[in-house]
């Protein structure tokens, strides 16, 4: 059985994945494009060692910052794990829906062009548009044509005709909450990240003068880099992180709703065990049917 846990930030995906792994004696595979990179811990909300509760976790911290780890690489790595642990229950958890879909559906890539594929989910249309103009200043694509912008940033497109699921017994779970509650959670989450050392983490990379796609993609670093450069005050940078995180959450909802057969479960923040029980009930009913 393969259980995919998706949804926006702050809804309890990581906690649910551990509970399900304990329930079904499973392993956990990272489903977040940025958590494959070492050192980027706080900004990516990467699971802490003590939170793993002895569960085997895969595809976390496997790349150095300067490495180019593509969606094609992710697809290959996940499929190897699915084959190796075909006798196990597997939980794929994270907010990068495109990566999850590429791993489980019939997405095909041109191996010669694999380094040109990457995750753009966290970038705004304005940022994508700027990147396109840097690549081709005469391009006339409209700033609101997000799909076209991303295609232009890749030399070749992904082939996913009919989007056929390649594996049996897969359940797609999405955790959710009301918009107002989610936005409040995101704001508080950013404040907590600051308490845990987000600014210091970003400054560490800034001082090392590391310039790579991973760092320039993650919400939290790029805004603070502007603060370090004197373009924003600290409060302005933190407000921008919250704003960009909220916008990213909206895009995540849209993607999961349109691209995967997601079964949505509202997170019970007062008693998370009820959320776990509801998800288990869905999984068990899915297995029976």
| Domains of the chain, CATH where assigned | 2-114+162-194+250-288 (3.40.50.300), 118-153 (no CATH)
The two tokens of residue 229 are: 């450069």
CA 65 – CA 43 distance, rounded (Å): 14
Distance separating alpha carbons of residues 246 and 179, to the nearest angstrom: 9
Q: Average of pLDDT values for 93-122?
A: 73
Integer Cα distance of 118 and 71 in angstroms: 6
pLDDT of residue 144: 77
Cα Dmax for the chain: 59
Q: Reply yes or no on whether the pLDDT at 155 is more than 60.
A: no
When pLDDT is cut at 50, 70 and 90, the band that residue 154 belongs to is low
Q: What is residue 175's predicted lDDT score, i.e. its pLDDT?
A: 96
**pLDDT number for residue 156:** 47
Lowest mean pLDDT among 161-175, 179-193, 242-256: 161-175
Name the residue with higher pLDDT: 129 or 189: 189
Q: What pLDDT, on a 0 to 100 scale, did the predictor assign at position 198?
A: 97
Nearest-angstrom CA–CA distance, 245 and 232: 17
Evaluate if residue 119 carries a pLDDT over 60.
no
Give the per-residue pLDDT at 45.
Answer: 93
Provide the 10 A C-beta neighbour count for residue 43: 22
User: What's the average model confidence in pLDDT over 149-164?
Assistant: 61
Residue 113 has pLDDT above 60, yes or no: no
pLDDT digits (tens, 9 = 90+) for 212-271: 878 888 999 999 999 999 999 999 999 999 999 999 999 999 899 999 999 999 999 999
- Taking residue 64's Cβ as centre, other Cβ atoms within 10 Å add up to 12
Taking only the tens place, the pLDDT of each residue in 33-53 is 999 999 999 999 999 999 999
Residue predicted with more confidence, 118 or 59: 59
Q: Are 269 and 10 in contact (CB under 8 A)?
A: no
Q: What is the pTM of this model?
A: 0.82
Question: Residue 125: what pLDDT?
Answer: 81
Q: What is the three-state SS of 230-286?
A: CCCCHHHHHHHHHHHHHHHHHHHHHHHHHHCCCEEEECCCCCHHHHHHHHHHHHHHH
- 59-76: pLDDT as tens digits: 999 999 888 888 899 999
Confidence band, pLDDT 50/70/90 cuts, at residue 162: low
What's residue 223's pLDDT? Answer: 96
DSSP state of 166: -
Strand order in the sheet with 263-266: 57-58, 27-30, 90-93, 2-6, 170-176, 263-266
pLDDT of residue 157: 45
Q: Average pLDDT, whole number, for the chain?
A: 88
């Amino acid at each position: 059985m393969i259980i995919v846990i998706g949804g926006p930030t702050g809804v309890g995906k990581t906690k649910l994945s551990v509970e399900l792994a304990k329930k079904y004696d499973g392993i956990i595979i990272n489903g977040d494009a940025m958590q494959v990179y070492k050192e980027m811990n706080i900004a990516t909300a990467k699971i802490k060692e003590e939170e793993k509760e002895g569960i085997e976790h895969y595809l976390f911290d496997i790349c150095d910052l300067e490495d180019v780890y593509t969606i094609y690489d992710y697809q290959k790595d996940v499929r190897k794990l699915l084959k190796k642990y075909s006798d196990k229950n597997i939980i794929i958890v994270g907010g990068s829906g495109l990566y999850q879909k590429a791993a489980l559906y019939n997405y095909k890539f041109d191996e010669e062009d694999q380094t040109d594929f990457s995750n753009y989910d966290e970038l705004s249309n304005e940022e994508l548009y700027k990147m396109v103009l840097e690549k081709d200043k005469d391009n006339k694509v409209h700033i609101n044509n997000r799909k076209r912008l991303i295609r232009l940033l890749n030399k070749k497109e992904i082939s996913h005709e009919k989007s056929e699921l390649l594996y049996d017994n897969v359940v797609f779970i999405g955790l959710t909450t009301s918009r107002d509650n989610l936005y409040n959670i995101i704001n508080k989450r950013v404040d907590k990240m600051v308490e845990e050392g987000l600014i210091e983490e970003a400054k560490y990379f800034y001082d090392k003068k590391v310039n790579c796609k991973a760092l320039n993609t993650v919400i939290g670093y790029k805004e603070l880099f502007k603060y370090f450069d004197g373009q924003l005050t600290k409060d302005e940078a933190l407000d921008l992180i919250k704003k960009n995180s909220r916008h990213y959450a909206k895009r995540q909802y849209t993607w999961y709703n349109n691209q995967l057969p997601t079964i949505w479960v509202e997170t019970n923040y007062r008693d998370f065990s009820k959320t776990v029980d509801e998800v288990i009930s869905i999984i068990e009913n899915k297995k029976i049917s």
